[in-house]
Amino acid sequence: MASKDPPVCQIFSFQDSKTSPDPIFELPAHCLTPAASPIVIDNGSFQTRAGWASSASGLDSPQLLFRSVAARSRGAARSETQIGNDIPNLEPLRWLLKSQFDRNVVVNFEIQELILDYVFTHLGLSSEGCVEHPILMTEAPCNPLHCRQMMSELLFECYRVPFVSYGVDGLYSFYHNNNQRNLQPPHSGIILSSGYHCSHILPVIHGRFDAVNCKRVNVAGSQAASYLQRLLQLKYPGHLAAITLSRMEELLHEHSYTAVDYHEELEKWRCPEFYEREVHRMQLPFSGKVPGGSVSVEERQERRAQQLRRLQEINSRRREEKLQQDQERLDRLLAVQELLEDGLLDQFHKSLMELNMDSAEELQSYINKLQLAVEQGRLKLLQSDGADGKMEVSELEQHMEEGDGVGQMDSDFPEDPLSEKSASVVQPAFNMAEYHQLFVGTERLRCPEILFQPSLIGEDQMGLMETLQYVLARYTPEQQEAMVSNVFLTGGNMQYPGMKERVERELLALRPFQSHFKVTMATRPSLDAWYGARDWALEHPAAAGAEGWISRQDYEEKGGEYLSEHCASNVFVPLKIAKPVPARPTEPPLASQTPTGASAAVATVTSAPSSSTDAVDITMVAS
C-alpha cells in the first residue's frame, strides 16, 4: 500500500510594505495650452487618486495614489502635518491619524483642505492664490447638500477654480467599462459597489442614476479588517501587538477569498487534509536567539561546568558564613562560662536568662555541640579547598549525571533548592518559528462573508444580495430584466477571488426560473472610477453652460449646493424651504365714548376678508 505524501505547508511572510514620499512633478506644458487640462481627483475614503485628464503618454494614469489620512500632533503647526505617503508606517501613528470622512461622506473640511494642498503641490501647480484648472471630483451617492456646499465653497472660495464637476465613483467605473465593451448608450444596469466604509446598490435606468431607489449597506472593507483582527487576537492572545490593522488589510487583500457556498466551504475545512493544504501560515518576525535553544555538545558541557563551579563557590561561601556564625556563638557562650568560674553568680544567672537556658549543665552541653560543629566545619572547608584543585570537569559532570554530586559537596544543608534546580535543568525542544506563526484558516472566508451576512459582526441590516433583491422589487419586470442583464461589480472590496461566482449563484436563486442575467467585474475595480472620470472629462470639455460643469457664476447665482447633472452624477434635488406667511397682528376695536350731555359720532371699524385683498369697511354712525 503506497503511503500518501504529507501536505505541503504554505508559509507566508507579512510584507509590511512602507511607502515612500511622493515626488513633486513638473507641470506638463500641454496641460496649459491651448486650454487648461482638468484635474481628476477620485476622493476615496481609503485611497485618494489624482492626475490629469489627458491622453498624452505618461499622463494616462493617476500620478498620485495615497491613503486618505493625515497625521498631526495636537498643537503642531500646519506645515508639520504628514499626508498619505509621507507616513511610511501607519501603525506607530495610528492614534494620530485623521480622515476627512465620516463613513463615506466628507465632513472634516480642514483635513480635506490639507489633502487638496498635497495634491495640487505634488502635481506641480505653483500659481499664487488660485488654481487655474477645472476640477473633477468624485462624491458619495446621494451626497448631502450641505457637504457639497462646503466642498464647492472650499474649491471656489479658497482655490478660486474656474469650473467644478461632481460625479459618483461607481457610476464613472460603470461608464468606463461600458465604453470598453462597446455597449451603445443609454446604458441600463445595476451597480454593486463596495469600498472601505460602505457598500451601495446603484440602479441605472436609460443612462441615468435612479437616486430614489439606491440603497447603502454599512458593511465594507474596514469592518472586514476589524473583524479579522478581532478573530486573530482572540485566537493568539500572545501576539496582540503583532496583529495590527495594516497586516489585517494585507491578509484581506492577498489571502482572503469569497466562498461560492459558505456552509459547504466550512464543511470542507473540517477535513484535516484540506485544512493542512489550504491553511496559510503567516510568519511573524522573531529573534533567532532563544535561551536553551539548539546548542552543541561542547557548549552544553561548558555550561554544566560553569554551573558546577558557581555551585562550589556558593557552597564554600555558605560554609564560611556558617563557621563564622558558630564561632561567634561559641565565643559568647565561653564568655558566660568564665563568669561562673570567676564567681560572678548574679551576672552568670542574668546571662543564662538572656540565653534562655536553665542551668550550667545545659550551657556546657551547647558549648560541646558548638565546638564539635566548628571543628567539623573547619575540616570540611579544608577538604573542599583541596578537592577543588584536583577534581576535573569530567568527574563533576559524572557526579551531576549520577545525581549525587551536589549532595557530596555539601551534606550540611539538607535542602538546596538552587543546586537541585540547576542540576536538573533540561531545556525542552521548542520551535520558536512555529510559535510565531498565525494559522489563518476559516478566517480567510469568514471575513469577506460579512458582506452577505452582516449579522456575523452583529450588524442588524440586510446583506448585499438581500438589498439587491429589495431594490429590484421596486421596478417593473421589464426594467428588472434590463438591469440584471448588466450587473456590474466595482470597488476595492469586490476584488476577492470568487466574488463574481458568488453573486451569480445568489442571483440564480433570486431571479425567476429560466430568466437571464449577466454579471461583469470591473477591469480594475479600485482604479476604474478615476479612468472613467478622466474619459468623461476628455469627452465633455469644461465651458460655461456645458453639461456637468459648474462655473463660478453658477456657484454665485445658484448656491454651493447646486449640481449640474450628467450621466455619472447624482440627481440634484434643490432644497425647498417653505416660507411661512407672517401672521397679521390683530387690531383692537376702536371705540370712542361721547361726553355726557353732548352729541357725538361713534365710529365702528370692521374688517372683512375678500378673495383678492383685505377690504376694510368704515361705517359712521351719527346720533
Note the pLDDT of residue 15: 93
Q: Where are the beta strands (DSSP E) in 116-253?
A: 135-139, 163-168, 189-194, 199-205, 208-209, 215-217
The confidence band for 616, taking pLDDT boundaries of 50, 70 and 90, is: very low
The confidence band for 289, taking pLDDT boundaries of 50, 70 and 90, is: low
* Spatial distance between the Cα atoms of 131 and 137, rounded to a whole number of angstroms: 14
Note the pLDDT of residue 418: 44
Helices (H), 236-296: 245-255, 262-268, 272-278
Q: What digits encode the pLDDT tens for the residues 27-75?
A: 998 888 788 999 999 999 999 999 999 988 888 899 999 999 999 888 7
Q: Name the grid cell of 562.
A: 447646486
Note the pLDDT of residue 358: 77
Q: Would you say residue 348 has pLDDT above 90?
A: no
Hey, how many other C-beta atoms are within 10 angstroms of the C-beta on 618? 9
Do 432 and 339 meet the contact criterion of CB atoms below 8 Å apart? Answer: no
Q: What digits encode the pLDDT tens for the residues 169-215?
A: 999 999 999 999 999 888 999 999 999 999 999 999 999 999 999 99
Q: Would you say residue 299 has pLDDT above 90?
A: no
Q: What's the mean pLDDT in 566-584?
A: 81
Q: Would you say residue 300 has pLDDT above 90?
A: no
Q: Would you say residue 395 has pLDDT above 50?
A: no
Note the pLDDT of residue 428: 57
Percent of the chain predicted with pLDDT > 70: 83
Q: Would you say residue 280 has pLDDT above 60?
A: yes
Q: What's the mean pLDDT in 466-491?
A: 97
Note the pLDDT of residue 429: 62
Distances (CA, A) of 68 to 83, 84, 86, 135, 518: 8, 6, 11, 18, 34
* Spatial distance between the Cα atoms of 101 and 377, rounded to a whole number of angstroms: 81
Q: Would you say residue 111 has pLDDT above 70?
A: yes
| Per-residue DSSP letter, 559 | -
Q: What's the mean pLDDT in 304-315?
A: 87
Note the pLDDT of residue 354: 81
Note the pLDDT of residue 386: 63
Q: Give the largest Cα separation in the chain, rounded.
A: 154
Phi and psi at 372, nearest 5°, equal -65, -45
Closest CA to 163 of 549, 533, 534: 549
Q: Which CATH code for domain 221-285+436-525?
A: 3.30.420.570
Q: What digits encode the pLDDT tens for the residues 481-532?
A: 999 999 999 999 999 999 999 999 999 999 999 899 999 999 999 999 999 9
Note the pLDDT of residue 5: 58
* Spatial distance between the Cα atoms of 277 and 269, rounded to a whole number of angstroms: 10
Q: Is 591 exposed, middle or buried (0-12, 13-18, 19+ CB in 10 A)?
A: exposed
The confidence band for 422, taking pLDDT boundaries of 50, 70 and 90, is: very low
Instruction: Spell out the domain ranges in the chain.
Output: 221-285+436-525, 301-383
Do 284 and 437 meet the contact criterion of CB atoms below 8 Å apart? Answer: yes
| Residues forming beta bridges with residue 105, ordered by sequence position | 102
**pLDDT, averaged across the chain:** 85
Note the pLDDT of residue 359: 80
* Spatial distance between the Cα atoms of 497 and 264, rounded to a whole number of angstroms: 17
Closest CA to 546 of 31, 159, 38: 38
The confidence band for 613, taking pLDDT boundaries of 50, 70 and 90, is: very low
Note the pLDDT of residue 567: 94
Q: Concatenated DSSP letters for 21-80?
A: PPP-PPPPGGGTSSSPPPEEEEE-SSEEEEEE---STTSSS-SEEEES-EE--TT--GGG
Tell me how long the chain is: 623
Reduced to 3 states (helix: H, G, I; strand: E, B; else coil), residue 441 is coil
Q: Which of 380-394, 403-417, 534-548 has the lowest mean pLDDT?
A: 403-417
Q: What's the mean pLDDT in 268-280?
A: 95
Parallel, antiparallel or unpaired: strands 10-13 and 280-283: parallel
Q: Would you say residue 558 has pLDDT above 80?
A: yes
Q: Name the grid cell of 223.
A: 469592518
Percent of the chain predicted with pLDDT > 90: 60
Residue written as cell 521548542? 430
Q: Is 140 exposed, middle or buried (0-12, 13-18, 19+ CB in 10 A)?
A: buried
Phi-psi region of 577 (alpha: psi -120 to 50; beta: other; left: phi over 0): beta
* Spatial distance between the Cα atoms of 178 and 536, rounded to a whole number of angstroms: 12
Q: Would you say residue 323 has pLDDT above 70?
A: yes
Residue written as cell 447665482? 557
Note the pLDDT of residue 6: 56
pTM over 0.75: no
| Per-residue DSSP letter, 530 | H
Q: Would you say residue 402 has pLDDT above 80?
A: no
Q: What digits encode the pLDDT tens for the residues 371-391?
A: 888 888 888 877 776 665 555
Q: Where are the beta strands (DSSP E) in 349-461?
A: 437-440
* Spatial distance between the Cα atoms of 216 and 195, rounded to a whole number of angstroms: 11
Reduced to 3 states (helix: H, G, I; strand: E, B; else coil), residue 487 is strand
Q: Would you say residue 621 has pLDDT above 50?
A: no
Distances (CA, A) of 49 to 94, 173, 464, 488, 528: 22, 14, 26, 22, 11
Give ∠ CA 120-140-45 in degrees, rounded to 5.
Answer: 60
Q: What's the mean pLDDT in 392-418?
A: 45
Do 537 and 38 meet the contact criterion of CB atoms below 8 Å apart? Answer: yes
Q: Would you say residue 534 has pLDDT above 80?
A: yes
Do 214 and 471 meet the contact criterion of CB atoms below 8 Å apart? Answer: yes
* Spatial distance between the Cα atoms of 203 and 212, rounded to a whole number of angstroms: 9
R_g of the chain, CA atoms, integer Å: 44
Q: What's the mean pLDDT in 97-114?
A: 95
Do 199 and 491 meet the contact criterion of CB atoms below 8 Å apart? Answer: yes
* Spatial distance between the Cα atoms of 241 and 56, rounded to a whole number of angstroms: 47
The confidence band for 575, taking pLDDT boundaries of 50, 70 and 90, is: confident
